[in-house]
A and B are shown apart, each in its own frame.
Chain A
Amino acid sequence: QKEVEQDPGPLSVPEGAIVSLNCTYSNSAFQYFMWYRQYSRKGPELLMYTYSSGNKEDGRFTAQVDKSSKYISLFIRDSQPSDSATYLCAMSDTGANSKLTFGKGITLSVRP
């Protein structure tokens, strides 16, 4: 079993739709949870960052972490064509081993 599993996609939605992206993980030591957005031929851009459990909202984006279920989500409201990109979940623990473990990423396409 991979440490981090992410729905493989791709995902295509109409403009204005609510998008739900999800990841599950197996390592209970993970405490830091991040979502990155990566446009084609660019580096990943940090979109959302959460420590431990709970929700975090930033504009049209909401990140949720459910540590009891080992499940994290990213919601995008009122999706725009500019949201078309690959979304990667990433997580790490709190020790000296602070490497990020990534999901494989899901490619989202928002149709005008």
Chain B
Amino acid sequence: EAQVTQNPRYLITVTGKKLTVTCSQNMNHEYMSWYRQDPGLGLRQIYYSMNVEVTDKGDVPEGYKVSRKEKRNFPLILESPSPNQTSLYFCASTPLAGGFNTDTQYFGPGTRLTVL
């Protein structure tokens, strides 16, 4: 089954304790991205990756890191989490065509993070 998976689905942590949220897709998509969803703000892009070893900042990158060592995986790293990073996080992937992504993004089920 074609899908995007995220782990963990739920996480409660404390300020300053490094954490990683994993994201994996089995569709061989080149483009992957991370979003955070906050009430009244919709989804905002954190980071994206056009392909292996190619990553760039989205609209709200502060406090986050990513890596893309393999095509299928795109982990989100919070080196020193703070309470304002409490949010619902989504990973998404999409194939490229002609060097551009093809608009339709496939989303993972989400990770609800609480930072105390």
The answer to whether A and B assemble together is no
